[in-house]
């Protein structure tokens, strides 16, 4: 069972908006959203590493 907090959904939607603003394909953003839903822990690690404070 996948649980997503409101803050996580807001952050993902912000990323999607950023990617859409950069004119990246909607299919790619949809794939990222599906990946985030399927692998929330790995996605969080990926996002944290991009931010610069990864906790593995």
30-49 pLDDT per residue, tens: 777 777 777 767 666 767 66
Number of H helices, E strands in the chain: 3, 0
Degrees to nearest 5, angle at CA 46 with 43 and 51 = 125
Q: 11 pLDDT exceeds 80?
A: yes
- Find all residues with CB under 8 Å of 35, minimum gap 6, and list them: 43
CA 11 to chain centre: 7
pLDDT at position 51: 59
pTM score, two decimals? 0.32
Query: Quick one: tokens of 4?
Result: 């997503």
């Amino acid at each position: 069972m996948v649980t997503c907090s409101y803050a996580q959904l807001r952050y993902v939607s912000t990323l999607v908006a950023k990617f859409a603003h950069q004119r990246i394909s909607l299919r790619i953003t949809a794939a990222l959203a599906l990946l985030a839903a399927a692998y929330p822990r790995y996605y969080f690690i990926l996002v944290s590493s991009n931010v610069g404070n990864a906790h593995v």
